[in-house]
Amino acid sequence: MVRVIAGKYKHQRLATLKGLETRPSSDRLKEALFNLLREEVEESYFLDCFSGSGSVGIEALSRGARGVTLIECAPRAVQVIQRNLRSLSPAPFDRVALMTQPTRASLRIIQRWKLKFDIVFIDPPYNAVQHYPRTLEQIHRCQILAPQACVILEHSKRLTLSPRYHDLRQVREIRHGDSQLSLYRGP
């Protein structure tokens, strides 16, 4: 079990999947992530790609995000996200969307809906390193970032990412154990 660290749903316990299908962000890494973002989360539109249990997106909701979109296509993980959302009181269903298609397909749908995000969090399984550049490329192609948006990638500290992806420039890295957060900003 992980928990919501701060905000409206503080201390709420969240279910996670057993096994190696997903790797939930630790409470300490989530805390580092949201300390990095500070006040940017409040009133933001937040996109959580490869959501797993939904804990990062739920943390953004708890901290005042205007809207959160969760992308997760693994059926068992989708069930856990739905369970976690139902456990929140009051339920945030008017501020959250759960997309159950693969990330690339979900991003094309978001593009058709003309949605723009202030914050994007990308956290595929660490061994699926191909998803990092592919997802960043798809985000660029779909033009879903608001002006001054930030994109955060959680990855293994052993993975070296490019310092630039199109208009995105890496501005910060935070290491925590085997994990690393890489923060990119747009123009």
Domain count within the chain: 1
- Mean of the pLDDT values across residues 134-157? 95
Q: Which domain holds residue 167?
A: 2-185
E strands, the chain, are: 2-3, 13-14, 45-49, 67-71, 96-99, 117-122, 145-156, 164-165, 168-176, 179-185
> pLDDT band for position 63 (50/70/90)?
very high
> Do 4 and 84 contact (CB within 8 A), yes or no?
no
The conformation of residue 126, written as its DSSP 8-state character, comes to T
pLDDT tens digits, 18-36: 764 556 667 788 898 999 8
* CATH number of the domain where residue 178 is located: 3.40.50.150
What integer pLDDT is reported at residue 170 of this predicted model?
96
In sequence order, which ranges of the chain are alpha helices (DSSP H)?
27-37, 55-62, 75-87, 103-112, 131-142
Predicted TM-score of the model (pTM): 0.94
